């Protein structure tokens, strides 16, 4: 076994082993279960960075096992430049979310299960990005759904959690089924479920079938991205889920949809066939961007405001993907990473506010800036970042996405996307002003916050600033993916 293969197994195996350990030693670990989970979540992140030198040398770490030889089904893992940013984001978000959970989650007898499920959820996402075969991809794709659904069902807030979990499951599963149909069709044609085999087959299919498959893939993955009007699961799921799960859903799981679009329709099929969907993707992206922002303005629940913000932000991503240009695709991928940082930050801030005050309605909050200055600073930076203010990170990705828009023939759409971003500024500032400025409602308590919740929040704030100021390394990594998608013609 080579070093790269070892780290590949660590990325995927460490969460699983840790989860099993937590389940096995559940009675004995007690308060330590969170820290054990942290350790388990930190290994994939270390693994991601350990694999980076190999990628830079042009090596694609891979691992294949024959599983059902008669049916030509393999279990294959690999890490290429397309998967790397997503895997890194997922690993980092998981670690921070579990760290945050130390302060958020009240320890009881079920705590080891909570952390074990978080790790399995994380393994689902890691497996989705590392999979090199359709079978494995779909297995991990469904694993992350099942794990997150159980987390919502058991640890969710309120009486409605069962209904919400069901709704979340049905919606995302319908999307998954569309993806599954496409997978089966491709598998039948190719006779193998390896991604490399699909690329050759994709170019030989009839145009009508290719368009149908692309449409299925896009709809299926757009459900996961929570693009309007397929987003209905997201506000409820994000609101009801416990905060660490919300963070992982919003910051990491949404990005899996983008990864799916880049990995399948944009990699397998001929660029001219994918280009057929360019304008619809841009239009739907803009609609989602504007609609999500409007809904965020209309909401009263702080968690729902940021949840709708995700709908809006994923609209930017879809717009960037739809441009099918060098700048647009780099921008979309960067936006996924930066959105993860900022969205995790904003949800952590909300968690701090809810923990301190016990309130979730924005109309019941106000004037917290003086009582929670550090949280206010973190929120301010998060809000400015989501509003696309330079030199914070989302500015960089928005710049590239809009530049991609202007690189197409549809300048009016690009102008619309730029103007639509003003609504993002509006809801972001409104959110900040309502919570942290103005008079503080009488009797609004401000309780002490645990450091385990504050530290990851501050870390993400610093990261939003640092990534904004020094985006070059991530740019370099992300631009490498262009050799793999749309025939490599955009590099």
- The smaller minimum CB distance to other proteins, of residues 384 and 453, is found at 384
Among positions 104, 169, 402, 477, the unique one binding other proteins when judged by CB under 8 A:
402
Q: Which of positions 284-303 make contact with other proteins (CB under 8 A)? A: 291, 294-295, 297-299
- Rounded-to-integer distance, Cα 309 and Cα 246, Å: 13
Binding residue for other proteins (CB under 8 A) from 93, 330, 350, 463? 330
Among 389, 444, 452, 458, binds other proteins (CB under 8 A): 389
Helix (H, G, I), strand (E, B) or coil at 391: coil
Q: Does 328 bind other proteins (CB under 8 A)?
A: no
Q: Is 384 in the site for other proteins (CB under 8 A)?
A: yes
Of the candidate spans 69-77, 181-189, 389-397, 443-451, the one that interacts with other proteins by CB under 8 A turns out to be 389-397
The closest of 467, 91, 454, 74 to 248, measured between CA atoms, is 91
The site map against other proteins for 196-235 (x = CB under 8 A) is ---------------------------------x--x--x
- Complex with other proteins: residue 10 or 400, whichever CB lies closer: 400
Please say which residue, 374 or 429, places its beta carbon nearer to other proteins.
429
C-beta of 70 vs 412, nearer to other proteins: 412
At 437, list the tokens.
């400025």
Consecutive H or E run containing 78: strand 73-78
Q: In angstroms, rounded to a whole number, what is the distance separating the alpha carbons of residues 236 and 153? A: 12
In the complex, the smallest distance separating the C-beta of residue 96 from other proteins, rounded to whole angstroms, is: 26
Q: Does 403 sit near other proteins (CB under 8 A)?
A: yes
Interface stretch with other proteins, choices 138-146, 202-210, 322-330, 453-461 (CB under 8 A)? 322-330
User: Is 116 or 314 the residue whose CB approaches other proteins more closely?
Assistant: 314
407 makes contact with other proteins (CB under 8 A): yes
* 255 lies in the binding site for other proteins (CB under 8 A): no
Does residue 371 touch other proteins according to CB under 8 A? no
Output the smallest distance, CB 472 to other proteins, in A.
5
* Cβ at position 400, least distance to other proteins in Å: 7
Q: Which of 66, 275, 422, 466 binds other proteins (CB under 8 A)?
A: 422
Exposed, middle or buried by CB within 10 Å (0-12, 13-18, 19+), for 52? Answer: middle
Reported as half-sphere exposure (CB side, CA atoms, 13 A), residue 55 has a value of 21
Place of tokens 């409007």: 294
Among the residue ranges 2-10, 124-132, 147-155, 401-409, the one whose residues contact other proteins (CB under 8 A): 401-409
The answer to whether residues 97 and 116 touch, using CB atoms and an 8 Å cutoff, is no
Is 174 a binding residue for other proteins by CB under 8 A? The answer is no
Is the CB of residue 266 less than 8 Å from the CB of residue 198?
no
Of 139, 212, 479, 483, which lies in the binding site for other proteins, with binding defined by CB under 8 A?
479
Q: Which stretch binds other proteins (CB under 8 A): 24-32, 202-210, 384-392, 451-459?
A: 384-392
Q: 301 pairs with which residues across the strands? A: 361
| H or E element in which residue 88 lies | helix 83-104
Interaction of residue 35 with other proteins, rule CB under 8 A = no
Instruction: Determine if 418 is a binding residue for other proteins (CB under 8 A).
Output: yes
Closest CA to 262 of 313, 221, 207, 312: 221
The alpha carbon dihedral of 179, 184, 188, 192 has a sign of positive
Rounded CA gap, 445 and 269, in Å? 57
Point out which residues pair with 73 in neighbouring strands: 68
Instruction: Kindly tell me which residue out of 439, 443, 447, 448 binds other proteins, with binding defined by CB under 8 A.
Output: 439
**Helix-strand-coil split of the chain, %, nearest 5:** 80, 5, 20
**Is residue 122 within 8 Å of residue 248, measured between CB atoms?**
yes
Rounded Cα distance between 274 and 460, Å, is 36
Q: How far, in Å, CA of 58 to CA of 51, rounded?
A: 11
What b-and-e string marks burial along 112-130, b requiring 16 or more CB atoms within 10 Å of the CB? bbbbbbbbbbbbbbbbbbb
Judged by CB under 8 A, the number of residues near other proteins is 48
Q: How far is the CB of 202 from other proteins (least distance, A)?
A: 28
Assess 66 for contact with other proteins (CB under 8 A): no
Q: Reduced to 3 states, what is the DSSP secondary structure of residue 433?
A: helix
Nearest partner of 239 among 252, 255, 223, 250, judged by Cα: 250
What is the C-alpha separation between 486 and 490, in angstroms, rounded? 7
Spatial separation of the C-alpha atoms in residues 44 and 33, rounded to whole Å:
18
Binding status of residue 390 toward other proteins by CB under 8 A:
yes
Query: What CA–CA distance (Å, rounded) separates 124 from 144?
Result: 4
Is residue 391 near other proteins by the rule CB under 8 A? yes
- Tell whether residue 466 is a contact of other proteins (CB under 8 A): no
* Closest approach of other proteins to the CB of residue 418, in Å: 5
Closest CA to 216 of 255, 166, 260: 260
Residue 476 within binding range of other proteins, rule CB under 8 A: yes
Chain residues in the site for other proteins (CB under 8 A) = 229, 232, 235, 291, 294-295, 297-299, 326-327, 330, 384, 387, 389-391, 395-396, 399-400, 402-403, 405-407, 411, 414-415, 418-419, 421-422, 425-426, 429-430, 432-433, 437-439, 469, 471-472, 475-476, 479
């Amino acid at each position: 076994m080579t070093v790269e293969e070892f780290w590949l197994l660590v990325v995927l195996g460490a969460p699983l082993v840790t989860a099993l350990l937590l389940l096995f030693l559940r009675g004995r670990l007690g308060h330590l279960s969170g820290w054990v989970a942290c350790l388990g979540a930190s290994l994939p992140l270390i693994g991601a960075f350990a694999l980076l030198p190999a990628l830079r040398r042009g090596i694609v770490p891979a691992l294949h096992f024959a599983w059902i030889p008669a049916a030509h089904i393999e279990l294959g893992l690999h890490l290429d430049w397309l998967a790397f940013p997503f895997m890194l984001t997922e690993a980092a978000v998981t670690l921070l979310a579990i760290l945050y959970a130390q302060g958020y989650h009240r320890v009881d007898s079920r705590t080891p299960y909570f952390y074990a499920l978080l790790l399995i959820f994380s393994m689902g996402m890691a497996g989705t990005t590392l999979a090199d075969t359709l079978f494995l991809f779909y297995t991990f794709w469904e694993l992350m759904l099942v794990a997150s659904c159980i987390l919502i069902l058991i640890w969710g807030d309120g009486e409605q959690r069962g209904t919400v979990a069901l709704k979340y499951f049905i919606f995302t599963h319908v999307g998954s089924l569309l993806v599954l149909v496409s997978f089966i069709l491709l598998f039948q044609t190719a006779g193998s479920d390896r991604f490399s085999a699909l690329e050759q087959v994709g170019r030989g299919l009839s145009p009508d079938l290719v368009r149908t498959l692309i449409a299925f893939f896009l709809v299926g993955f757009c459900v996961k991205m929570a693009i309007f009007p397929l987003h209905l699961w997201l506000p409820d799921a994000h609101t009801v889920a416990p905060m660490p799960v919300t963070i992982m859903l919003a910051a990491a799981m949404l990005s899996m949809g983008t990864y799916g679009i880049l990995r399948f329709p944009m990699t397998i099929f001929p660029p001219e066939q994918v280009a057929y969907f360019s304008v619809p993707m841009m239009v739907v992206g803009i609609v989602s961007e504007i609609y999500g922002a409007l809904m965020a303005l209309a909401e009263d629940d702080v968690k729902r405001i940021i949840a709708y913000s995700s709908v809006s932000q994923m609209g930017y991503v879809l717009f960037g993907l739809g441009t099918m240009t060098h700048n647009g695709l780099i921008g979309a991928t960067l936006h996924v990473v930066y959105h993860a940082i900022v969205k995790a930050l904003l949800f952590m801030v909300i968690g701090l506010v809810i923990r301190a005050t016990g309130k979730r309605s924005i109309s019941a909050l106000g004037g917290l800036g003086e009582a929670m200055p550090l949280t206010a600073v973190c929120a301010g930076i998060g809000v400015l970042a989501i509003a696309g203010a330079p030199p914070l990170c989302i500015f960089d990705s928005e710049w590239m996405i809009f530049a991609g828009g202007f690189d197409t023939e549809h300048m009016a759409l690009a102008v619309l996307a730029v103007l639509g971003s003003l609504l993002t500024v509006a809801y972001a500032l409104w959110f900040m002003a309502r919570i942290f400025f103005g008079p503080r409602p009488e009797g609004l308590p401000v309780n002490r916050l645990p450091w385990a919740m504050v530290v990851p929040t501050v870390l993400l704030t610093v990261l939003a600033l640092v990534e904004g100021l020094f985006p070059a390394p991530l740019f370099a990594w992300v631009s490498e993916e262009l050799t793999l998608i749309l025939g490599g013609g955009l590099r």
